[in-house]
Amino acid sequence: MSTPHLTPSNTNSAVKTPQRQVILGSSSAYRKELLSRLHVPFEVVRPEVDESPLNGETPLALASRLALAKARAVALMHPQAVVIGSDQVADLMGQPLGKPVTHDKACLQLSQMSGQTVLFHSAVAVVCRVSGFEGQTLASVAVKFRELSDQEIETYLRLEQPYDCAGSAKSEGLGISLLASIDSDDPTALIGLPLIRTCRLLREAGVAIPSS
């Protein structure tokens, strides 16, 4: 009598699912550096999204809409990937402050923010078309600026030239000297990508973070 062939059971062995490609949908060098801290391999793809605010759109709504639009735009080109989109809008008394680009506009922004509390809304969205995952969240950071003299503003801008930063100041650099206080529950949000929230969304999308 022949003995039937038995196939070993795999019930006790871990079946590993290959991790999806992760793409950062951003041209920001700051976000690229921040995401690299997680030790998750990723690529960078520039999203083609019009960042103009809609009529009557609040700074918070603008940041949320653009983060999701950027993630969706890149995910459309890479449907198998997990795509991260992010946007930050500075909010001065309900008015959005974008990247100044020029020295004169940066001077104006810092003059307007002198002695004021500015909210920096940093939104992040994660999208994977093939799995149907779509999630987003936002971290708002309250930044109190000192009373700044024209000379302080001019000296700071000449030294750091933060013309690609919303709000015309780099808190991770010399810009910290312009501030009286920072109130945030996600330390990297002010730089442009709230990593605590980003980690949560990536886990929900099925991406393993090495330390998790």
Contact of 55 with 29, CB cutoff 8 Å: no
What is the second-level CATH architecture of the domain 22-204?
Alpha-Beta Complex (3.90)
Mean pLDDT, range 80-88, rounded to an integer: 97
Mean residue pLDDT of the chain comes to 91
Look at residue 17 in the predicted model and tell me its pLDDT: 42
Structure confidence by residue, pLDDT tens digits, 46-57 = 999 999 999 999
Asked whether the predicted pLDDT for residue 60 surpasses 70, the reply is yes
Comparing 56 with 14, the larger pLDDT belongs to 56
CA 8/CA 6 separation, integer angstroms: 6
Asked whether residue 8 carries a pLDDT value surpassing 70, the answer given is: no
- Averaged pLDDT, 160-182: 94
Closest Cα partner for 117 from 93, 135, 152, 149? 93
Active site residues: 87
Of 166, 176, 172, nearest in space to 86 by CA: 166
Q: Are 91 and 118 in contact (CB under 8 A)?
A: yes
Q: Is the pLDDT of residue 120 over 70?
A: yes
Mean pLDDT of 160-168: 93
| Rounded distance between C-alpha atoms, residue 194 and residue 189, angstroms | 4
For residue 19, the model assigns a pLDDT of 81
Annotate 49-77 with DSSP letters as a single string.
Answer: ---PPPTT--HHHHHHHHHHHHHHHHHHH
Q: Which residues of 89-110 are buried (b: 16+ CB within 10 A; e: fewer)?
A: bbbbeeebbbbbeeeeebbebb
Say what the pLDDT of residue 212 is.
63
Alpha helices by DSSP H, listed for 19-118, are 29-36, 59-77, 103-113
What's the rounded mean pLDDT across residues 161-172? 92
Provide the pLDDT confidence category of residue 2 given band limits of 50, 70 and 90.
Answer: very low
Strand-strand pairing, 82-92 and 22-25: parallel
- Residue 177: strand, helix, or coil: helix
85 near 144, Cβ under 8 Å?
no
Residue 11 pLDDT exceeds 80: no
Question: Can you give the residue ranges of every domain in the chain?
Answer: 22-204
- pLDDT above 90 coverage of the chain, percent: 86
Are 122 and 193 spatial neighbours (Cβ–Cβ below 8 Å)?
A: yes
Using the predicted structure, report yes or no on whether residue 15 has a pLDDT greater than 90: no
Give me the pLDDT at residue 5, please: 36
The predicted model scores a pTM of 0.87
